[in-house]
Amino acid sequence: MEDTFRHKGLRKKLVETVKKKGIRDKKILEAINKVPRHLFMDTGFINFAYKDQAFPIGEGQTISQPYTVACQTQLLDIQRHEKVLEIGTGSGYQAAILMELGARVYTIERHRNLFLKVQTLLPGLGYRPNFFYGDGFKGLPSFAPFDKILITAAATYVPEELLKQLKVGGRMVVPVGGMGYQEMTLIIRKGENDYERSNHGGFVFVPMVSGTSNGK
Ligand code: SAH
């Protein structure tokens, strides 16, 4: 599948939509303009790829809405070369956006099929994050600490293990809440035992689930 002028044109419109909704960060808008979102979705959904909406990617999961991706990315305040942990690789779209901003991405997925699929897709588009199959609740202790941690599924609470894996001065962004509504939460680690928490509006994500799809 290719990236045509039509796709590029639709992408420009999507950038305008996201901008109108309040995203001002130029680098994030440029990243959305660059990443071919239609290639992250099943062929049947191509016509919807550049609508500002979430869509199914199989296994009951979704590719996040571009505005949501932009909001989470903006809150993370990504700088080049930062080490970023993403929980919930899913389609790989959010990881691609992070890499467009120069981040070094470590990404974990609990669904075996999604994990396998994205490992062909992303490198094929020139994106090479470090892929992990596992339970994001545990994070990646052997690769910690991280400058930034991003959870792209709804957590009913902030996972303690992930707070420990955040650098002092680092930021974590996580939608916290139950089914149907979560509050976008930014946590800044101010000191060894000092975490500052703030809320940034309501969103809807698929739930964060512990364990992996094959039960390990
Ligand atoms: N960042 C993705 C969003 C996918 S939706 C994208 O840009 O497309 C959320 C993803 O989180 C799903 O793929 C789901 O399987 C995954 N997930 C849920 N709980 C998880 C956990 N405990 N560990 C790792 N991944 C998890």
The CATH number of residue 70's host domain is 3.40.50.150
pLDDT for 87:
98
Residue 45 placed within a domain? no
Give 199 Cα–ligand 1 centroid separation in angstroms: 21
Going by alpha carbons, the residue nearest to atom 17 of ligand 1 is 88
35 lines ligand 1 (CB under 6 A): no
Residue 59 lies in a domain: yes
The CA-based dihedral angle spanning residues 153, 111, 163, 67, taken in that order and rounded to the nearest 10 degrees = -30
Residue 1 confidence (pLDDT): 73
Question: Residue 216: is its pLDDT beyond 60?
Answer: no
* Distance (Å) from CA 110 to ligand 1 centroid: 7
Over range 149-166, report the average pLDDT: 98
User: Above 80 in pLDDT, residue 52?
Assistant: yes
Based on the structure, what is the number of domains in the chain? 1
* 4-26 pLDDT per residue, tens: 999 999 999 999 999 999 999 99
Q: Is residue 172 part of a domain?
A: yes
Establish if 9 belongs to a structural domain: no
Q: Which tokens go with 6? A: 């039509």
Q: Which of 170, 173, 167, 169 lies closest to 86 in space, CA to CA?
A: 173
Predicted confidence (pLDDT) per residue in 119-152, tens digit: 999 999 999 999 999 999 999 999 999 999 999 9
What DSSP state is assigned to residue 39? G
68: in domain: yes
Mean pLDDT of 24-42: 96
| Residue 184 clears pLDDT 90, i.e. is over it | yes
Sheet holding 130-133, edge to edge: 130-133, 104-109, 83-87, 146-151, 166-176, 182-191, 194-203
What is residue 47's predicted lDDT score, i.e. its pLDDT?
78
Residue 214's pLDDT band (boundaries 50, 70, 90)? Answer: confident
Res 186 pLDDT > 70: yes
DSSP string of 111-176, one letter each residue: -HHHHHHHHHHHHHTT---EEEES-GGG--GGG--EEEEEE-SBBSS--HHHHHTEEEEEEEEEEE
User: Is residue 21 assigned to a domain?
Assistant: no
In a domain, 117, yes or no: yes
Residue 216 forms part of a structural domain: no
